[in-house]
Amino acid sequence: QVQVVESGGGLVQPGGSLRLSCAASGSDVNSYAMGWYRQAPGKQREWVASISITTGTNYADSVKGRFTISRDNAKNTAHLKMNSLKPEDTAVYYCNMAIRGRSYWGQGTQVTVSS
């Protein structure tokens, strides 16, 4: 049974930083690709960033230069470091991992950027 769990969300002021983490547990959970997505109430879920052992990292234009995605292969954990946060970044952030040809989603973690 594969489970993906996000953590690290919370309330932060504009211009602040936050780091999200995503961990997969279960048997044979080596992930070859991972992505971060976000969704605000009433809005479509959008892709934020991704990392792959074959294609490296990619970012949405809205977060380029501010967010950094990384992974710890030994721990099968991924992170999203968010700097210079803006109110527009407020959303529930979801982690997605590709494991053995299947896609697994976490439950999401709330990120709120507000004064």
pLDDT the model gives residue 32: 82
Retrieve residue 50's tokens: 């991704």
pLDDT the model gives residue 87: 97
pLDDT the model gives residue 26: 86
pLDDT the model gives residue 100: 86
pLDDT the model gives residue 107: 97
Q: How many residues does the chain have?
A: 115
Rounded Cα–Cα distance for residues 30 and 23 (Å):
11
Q: Could you report the per-residue pLDDT of 41-70, keeping only the tens digit for each?
A: 889 999 999 999 888 999 999 999 999 999
| C-alpha of 65 from chain center | 16
Rounded Cα–Cα distance for residues 22 and 114 (Å):
24
Segments of the chain with pLDDT less than 50: none
Rounded Cα–Cα distance for residues 50 and 42 (Å):
24
